[in-house]
Amino acid sequence: MSNSRAIWIIIFTFLVFAALIVRLFDIQIVRSEELKYYAKRQQTTVQTILAERGLIYDRNNVLLVYNRNDVSFYLDTRMVSDKNKKKIAQKFSSVFGESFQHYYDLINSSNRTVCIEKKAQAEKADELENYKMSGLFYNEDPTRVYYYKNLASYVLGYVGSDYHGVDGISKSCDDILSGQDGSMVVLRDAIGDMITVEEKETKPAVPGINIVLTIDKTYQQILEDELNNGIQKYGGNSAVGIIMDPSTGEVLALANSGGYDPNNYWAFSDTARRDRAITDTYEPGSTFKSISMAAMLDQNLVNENQKVFAENGLYKFENVSITDAHKLGWLTARQVIEESSNIGMSKLTQNFDDDTFYKYVRAFGFGNYTSIDLPGEVKGMLRKPNEWTPISKAFLSFGYGLAVTPIQIATAYCALVNGGILYQPQIIKRELNHDGSLLKEMTPIKVRRVISEETSARIRNLLIGVVNEGTGTNAKLEGVTVGGKTGTSQKLIDGHYSKFDYNSSFVGFFPADNPKVVCLILVNSPKDGRYGGLVAAPIFKNVAQRIVDLNPGYFENPVPSNQNYKVMYANNTKQNENANINVNYNGASSVSALNIKNGIMPDLKQHSMRDAIAALLKLGLKYKVNGSGTVTAQTILPGTNIHKGDFCEIDCKEQDLSGISVY
């Protein structure tokens, strides 16, 4: 070997070692901190510990919503050889049952990271617990499970892909249901497999709060069943139902026909998922007459026996026609409610001061939010008196010229029959810690007193007449006294009231002497029946009967028998076996005419059966009625000391009406 070649080899070797020394110096001294940072970042990751979302129960602690600990598997395709791709596809095919080709195609997609199995249930995921392959990793991916599927879906709502509430109670209470996520520091090797967890750096997750709803699962199922049955029987675009406890404002059931499955919410349209009970408004029609009548009774502007002429079904008022479904003549105020006369109601309210009338309507909650704990509620529309036209009050009196939601009507009826107190509708009963211990108990929220207790008792009595003798006879139950009001309103379409599309409704309560249930039924555009008394009232009856059957004896209360009178309608006479007409015998008897004192039995003889029953209800007595007409005998003698719950039997007999004109 020549000396020159040896020199060049020495020089080259020296330069290589010099370069290595420089490189090592750069790595170990100059860039050591920077490279340590990158190495630590590559080997150490902060992993989120998902908080367990709070559970949801019904009022009887029936579990409605829970969590399932699912797992999703991912693959970084850059770290997998073709041979291992086939092995992974074969393994997942054997565990989950999908074809080999399905997984192999996923793995060979253009994405760098692919999800090869989404939300695998724990029992399947456990089979892959010890299966290790470069590039394969998994994440906890919990699933919210709605055990009864469609049941109460509009109340419960659902969670989106980010595991946060999107609708219903899931959204309105998302902050307490979600809990607080934790975190842990994980050390991984060069291929991404976990080596260990830094325990000192771990922050545990805080589970969400559990919620107990006011909803009764059984009542909810009954309501949904009967709404769907009603749509099938009568047709219609949709139906809404609400059941409430009038003494507390608790919502016992809230439903829309059809429903949707929150487990697969994406398969349903936005329209199908809309809670029409709180988001959709309508003109309530005749169900609003109870509100108008209660306001007039409370102001002593009318009494039950005051007469008004119903113009034979057509009334010209301020150059506008007001019509009734039937040609009616002279009616008492009681008959105006029972026969649902638009003309009678519009005439009775003309002596009502505009501002005072408006204040009562507003006090019942119309034109404002009820503040129910569900998202998306609208407040409807109620114009102020300075925006009224000469016909506004007349039309408002029978439920036109304003827009309400079903929850507003149901809440207002609770105030009508519970003694006059408006409650905020309540959907949450209590909150529980994760261990089941009580965190917070909700109490009824009184908004305001709207009418007096006496007015409430009088309006209950009028609404009993609607069911027993008037337009709501299809809501009558055996053995339980029911009160309520029918409603049929034309829908406003393109600025004109339709002659074909109606909202048919009924709002009822039972038992009448001490209401425990208020139930609203609203059917949108029924194809068969149209009227609230023919469509909504029978649906109410089916719901109420099933509830009564569930609670033998709880709602028991005898139903007064029908009274059949020969009624004079203007210039023609007809027999109306369903309309109770309060006949004047030498100046009509009324509840106010009875000498009612707490603890003392009044003299019921020579008073009408209806007034006697009203007195017994007001005194809190149980009763039985024999016959119909005027009271002729009573088992508890006048002047006797009585106690609430005592039993009184009364005998009634029809009076001879020959020669008497009844209007």
Query: Which residue in the list 170, 286, 397, 456 is annotated as catalytic?
Result: 286
Nearest to 324 by CA among 305, 338, 310, 307: 310
What distance in Å separates the CA atoms of residue 62 and residue 296, rounded to the nearest whole number?
44
Mark whether 4 is an active-site residue: no
Q: Please, what are the domains in the chain?
A: 70-138 (3.30.70.2110), 565-653 (3.30.10.20)
DSSP 396-426: HHTT-S-BB-HHHHHHHHHHHHTTSEEE--B
Instruction: Indicate whether 562 pLDDT > 60.
Output: no
Nearest to 427 by CA among 589, 244, 269, 624: 244
pLDDT, residue 190, reads 54
Least confident stretch, 34-48, 137-151, 527-541, 600-614: 34-48
The dihedral built from the CA positions of residue 521, 525, 526 and 529, taken in this order, carries a sign that is: positive
More confident residue, 98 or 399: 399
Report the pLDDT averaged over residues 428-446. Answer: 94
pLDDT tens-digit map of 341-354: 999 999 999 989 99
pLDDT, residue 188, reads 58
Please tell me whether residue 454 adopts helix, strand or coil conformation: helix
pLDDT tens-digit map of 329-385: 999 999 999 999 999 999 999 989 999 999 999 999 999 999 999 999 999 999 999
Top mean pLDDT of 198-212, 279-293, 577-591 is at 279-293
pTM of the model: 0.76
Report the pLDDT averaged over residues 643-652. Answer: 85
pLDDT, residue 201, reads 66
pLDDT, residue 189, reads 57
pLDDT, residue 655, reads 54
Which amino acid is present at 611? D
What distance in Å separates the CA atoms of residue 566 and residue 580, rounded to the nearest whole number?
10
Q: Strand 210-213 vs strand 56-57: parallel, antiparallel, or unpaired?
A: parallel
What distance in Å separates the CA atoms of residue 407 and residue 424, rounded to the nearest whole number?
10
Rounded to the nearest integer, the mean pLDDT of the chain is 84
CA angle 297, 302, 304 (to 5 degrees): 85
Nearest to 148 by CA among 298, 30, 263: 263
Of all residues in the chain, the percent with pLDDT exceeding 70 is 85
pLDDT tens-digit map of 486-521: 999 888 776 777 777 889 999 999 999 899 999 999
In angstroms, the Cα distances linking 103 to 75, 109, 115, 168, 199 are 11, 10, 10, 37, 36
Confidence grade of residue 574 (pLDDT, cut at 50, 70, 90): very low
